[in-house]
């Protein structure tokens, strides 16, 4: 196994830069840079780092040694906490490059080694990637939970139950009970049904975990001039949209990213829905309709002089804008004024409540990727077949397929072809 090294903190000027070295030569590399023995395991020690060839001073910083197997990768790992100047980092990286049997790490290679050494399962690897990408609090909570094994444990728990069922089915094949034929399903059926119900409930989550990971879409819809762009600007607290009193100025879909109660939201202002005159505007209307159709939540806007809530569907938030002009606000409608800011707090509270209820962090670990969903569907389908079967060897084969589908999610079985896809998204140093 080769020894790899990389800058693990972000590149560029910074107070501190962290370099990681992993592999059998990690210890020797640290000794070569410091000219003395490695610090006690997992204890930070102040060291002077010099170029092993020329003896030139490179930096003074902290060194840590994590002996195998109690390290992130499961191999010997060395961490250098250097001053985060470009020349310092370049100098130490080039000194490492000149040491025998050391090479720069490929993207995601530290994490890949951690996976291959059984330190993380695939769902934990994905959780780690999501944690690094998390932009909002709810995303962070979900990613951290997954990185700490909540999904992996759920799936491995189901897989262990499947393996026990499989053992029963195989025992039946090897030692058939001649006197009671067809007894197998009577014995295994209830447990197969329980597993199936658990997986079905987990699948029936409305895509909540995936939505939280990717961000949800909120569309502002309504006829021209009711103040949709003005409302978007208010919510975004900056001038994101062009506001004009000439009907049909928002010709395309304009969006801002917001953090609503910890959930990442893309708020899209859409071209006014009306009989469009020009071709460009017609295209805008088409896109607006499509966007509104896809949105997870819609804000339907009307004003005292224009629009109504005919478009509104159950679950939409209904807004009457321009209440500063004086108008009656119907029941079930939130009265706002993008001009004065009146009612904006009510709108924000309503948004936070709806978004939080539907997409906030839930009590149970959730599916966060299509990959998991596919594996679970495959598993559930095999369980249905197993529950309907009567031949012991066919039941056993379906149970085996069900277990394998779960094993692929956590990376327990034949995942070679998946690994490149999963680790490709990692950057160097992870």
Which residues of this chain interact with ligand GDP, rule CB under 6 A? 224-230, 243-245, 250, 272, 321-322, 324-325, 337-339
Compute the distance between CA of residue 281 and CA of residue 184 in angstroms, rounded to an integer. Answer: 66
Nearer CB in complex with ligand GDP: 94/244: 244
Least distance in angstroms from the C-beta of 221 to ligand GDP: 10
Q: How far is the CB of 308 from ligand GDP (least distance, A)?
A: 14
> Can you tell me the distance from the alpha carbon of 20 to that of 35, in angstroms, rounded to the nearest whole number?
18
Least Å distance between CB 245 and ligand GDP? Answer: 3
Please say which residue, 228 or 354, places its beta carbon nearer to ligand GDP: 228
106/325 with CB nearer ligand GDP:
325
Residue with Cβ nearer ligand GDP (240 or 419): 240
Q: Nearest approach, Cβ of 14 to ligand GDP (angstroms)?
A: 42
Least Å distance between CB 244 and ligand GDP?
Answer: 5
For ligand GDP, give the closer residue by CB, 73 or 321: 321
Which residue lies nearest ligand GDP, judged by its C-beta?
227
Nearer to ligand GDP, 73 or 229 (CB): 229
Q: What is the CA radius of gyration of the chain?
A: 29
Handedness of CA 18, 19, 21, 27 (dihedral sign): negative
Nearer Cβ to ligand GDP (1/325)? 325
Nearest distance, CB of residue 314 and ligand GDP, angstroms = 23
Residue closer to ligand GDP, measured from CB, 143 or 268: 268
Chain-centroid distance of CA 240 in Å reads 27
CA distance 15 to 259: 29
Q: How far is the CB of 230 from ligand GDP (least distance, A)?
A: 3
CB of 287 to ligand GDP, least distance (A): 15
């Amino acid at each position: 196994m080769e020894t790899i090294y990389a800058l693990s903190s972000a590149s560029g000027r910074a107070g501190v830069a962290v370099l990681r070295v992993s592999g059998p030569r990690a210890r020797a590399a640290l000794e070569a840079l410091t000219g003395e023995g490695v610090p006690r395991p997992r204890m930070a020690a102040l060291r002077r780092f010099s170029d092993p060839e020329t003896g030139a001073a490179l930096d003074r910083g902290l060194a840590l040694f994590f002996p195998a197997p109690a390290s992130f990768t499961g191999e010997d790992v060395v961490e250098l906490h250097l001053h985060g100047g470009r020349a310092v980092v370049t100098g130490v990286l080039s000194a490492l490059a000149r040491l025998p049997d050391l090479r720069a790490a490929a993207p995601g290679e530290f994490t890949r080694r951690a996976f291959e050494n059984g330190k993380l399962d695939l769902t934990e690897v994905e959780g780690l990637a999501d944690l690094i990408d998390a932009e909002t609090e709810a995303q962070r909570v979900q990613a951290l939970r997954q990185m700490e094994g909540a999904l992996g444990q759920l799936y491995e728990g189901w897989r262990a139950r499947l393996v026990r069922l499989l053992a029963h089915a195989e025992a039946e094949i090897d030692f058939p009970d001649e006197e009671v034929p067809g007894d197998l399903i009577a014995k295994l059926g209830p447990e197969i049904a329980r597993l199936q119900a658990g997986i079905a409930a987990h699948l029936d989550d409305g895509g909540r975990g995936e939505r939280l990971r990717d961000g949800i879409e909120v569309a502002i819809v309504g006829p021209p001039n009711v103040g949709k762009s003005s409302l978007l600007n208010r919510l975004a607290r900056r001038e994101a949209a062009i506001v004009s009193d000439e009907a049909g100025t928002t010709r395309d879909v304009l969006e801002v990213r917001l953090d609503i109660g910890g959930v990442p939201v893309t708020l899209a202002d859409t071209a006014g829905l009306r009989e469009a005159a020009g071709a460009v505007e017609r295209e805008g209307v088409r896109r607006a309709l499509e966007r509104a159709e896809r949105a997870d939540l819609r804000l339907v806007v009307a004003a005292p002089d224009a629009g109504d809530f005919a478009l509104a569907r159950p679950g939409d938030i209904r807004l009457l804008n321009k209440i500063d002009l004086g108008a009656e606000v119907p029941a079930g409608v939130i009265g706002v004024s993008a001009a004065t800011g009146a009612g904006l707090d009510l709108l924000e509270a309503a948004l936070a409540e709806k978004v939080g209820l539907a997409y906030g962090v839930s009590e149970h670990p959730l599916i966060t990727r299509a990959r998991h969903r596919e594996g679970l569907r495959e598993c559930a389908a095999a369980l249905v077949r197993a529950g309907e079967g009567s031949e012991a060897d066919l039941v056993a084969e379906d149970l085996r397929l069900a277990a394998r589908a779960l094993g692929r999610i956590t990376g327990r079985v034949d995942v070679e072809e998946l690994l490149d896809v999963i680790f490709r998204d990692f950057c160097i140093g992870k």
